[in-house]
């Protein structure tokens, strides 16, 4: 059994689950996670159909995009975006990039999603911002994503593209993508009524964001300690 096989299995299970649930279609979307205590990421390959994909097709690369395990495949063309998350958000251990439908609606109308539910806000933050458009895999998209990471949210809309979700673990990142879709779907239908959409009270938003920030700081410190060992 290879050193990174357990990570590769998790990435494969996540991406195939996202395909099954309609969050990813064809070769679109991608998933990655960090190896504990290392500057190494395990990531889905570029331009490969996820249906029928095997563990051996999952890529393992360092932060310079050099293969750590060479399977002859290129990592996702958006691996640079994932790496930017890991470099700039030390609390993140996994990234899920999806083309989920309701979040994508708000990406094409360039509209952020506000704080609607406490369980969503407690996990992804009070405000899901829109990252300005950049062509997939382009330096512009990388720059635009990087510019938004400082707000501490765990989800972002990619204008005219889709969404990204991050978390301390791959399970959390996927769960955050699901919570984003819940908020996006409800917000879409609520707006369609033409009636006022009520948001969480500001003091509740502040409290939930403070709790989330505390969790993120604890995870950042844990990861720093792991790298020292």
| Residue pLDDT, tens place only, 140-187 | 999 999 999 999 999 999 999 999 999 999 999 999 999 999 999 999
Identify the pLDDT of residue 51. Answer: 87
What is the average pLDDT across 10-19? 97
Flag whether 58 is in a domain.
Answer: yes
Considering only CA atoms, which of 135, 137, 117 is closest in space to residue 183? 117
Helix, strand or coil, per DSSP, at residue 34: strand
Flag whether 228 is in a domain.
Answer: no
| Percentage helix, strand, coil for the chain under 3-state DSSP, each rounded to 5 | 45, 15, 35
How many domains does the chain fold into? 1
The fraction of the chain above a pLDDT of 70, given in percent, is 100
Flag whether 10 is in a domain.
Answer: yes
**Using CA atoms, how far apart are residues 138 and 78, in angstroms rounded to an integer?**
8
**Contact yes or no for 42/11 (Cβ under 8 A):** yes
85 pLDDT tier (thresholds 50, 70, 90):
very high
> Following CA atoms 134, 135, 140, 144 in sequence, which dihedral angle do they give, to the nearest 10 degrees?
30
Flag whether pLDDT at 133 surpasses 90.
yes
Identify the pLDDT of residue 32. Answer: 98
Flag whether 36 is in a domain.
Answer: yes
Flag whether 227 is in a domain.
Answer: no
Query: What CATH number is associated with residue 56?
Result: 3.40.225.10
CA distances from 193 to 120, 185, 188 (A): 22, 13, 9
Flag whether pLDDT at 79 surpasses 90.
yes
DSSP state of 45: B
Calculate the average pLDDT of the chain.
Answer: 96
Helix, strand or coil, per DSSP, at residue 48: coil
Identify the pLDDT of residue 27. Answer: 81
2 pLDDT tier (thresholds 50, 70, 90):
confident
Q: What is the 3-state secondary structure (H, E, C) of 136-155?
A: CCCHHHHHHHHHHHHHCCCE
Flag whether 145 is in a domain.
Answer: yes
- Structural domain including 143 reads 5-222
Flag whether 171 is in a domain.
Answer: yes
26 pLDDT tier (thresholds 50, 70, 90):
confident
Identify the pLDDT of residue 198. Answer: 98
Looking at per-residue pLDDT, the higher value among 52 and 68 belongs to 68
């Amino acid at each position: 059994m290879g050193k990174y096989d357990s990570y590769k299995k998790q990435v494969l299970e996540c991406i195939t689950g996202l395909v099954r649930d309609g969050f990813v279609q064809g070769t679109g979307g991608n998933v990655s996670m960090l190896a504990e205590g290392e500057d190494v990421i395990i990531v889905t390959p570029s331009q490969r159909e996820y249906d029928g994909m095997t563990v051996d097709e999952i890529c393992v690369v360092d932060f310079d995009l050099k293969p750590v395990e060479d399977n002859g495949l290129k990592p996702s063309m958006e691996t640079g975006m994932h790496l930017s998350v890991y470099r700039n958000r030390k609390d993140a251990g996994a990234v899920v990039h999806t083309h989920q439908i309701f979040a994508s609606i708000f990406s094409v109308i360039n509209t952020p999603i506000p704080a609607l539910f406490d369980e969503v806000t407690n996990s992804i933050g009070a405000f899901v911002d829109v990252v300005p458009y950049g062509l997939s895999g382009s330096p512009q998209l990388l720059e635009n994503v990087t510019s938004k990471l400082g707000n501490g949210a765990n989800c972002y809309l990619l204008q005219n593209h889709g969404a990204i979700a991050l978390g301390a673990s791959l399970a959390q990142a996927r769960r955050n993508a699901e919570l984003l879709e819940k908020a996006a779907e409800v917000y879409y239908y609520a707006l369609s009524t033409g009636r006022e959409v009520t948001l969480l009270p500001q003091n509740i938003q502040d409290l939930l964001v403070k709790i989330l920030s505390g969790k993120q700081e604890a995870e950042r410190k844990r990861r720093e300690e792991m790298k020292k060992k």
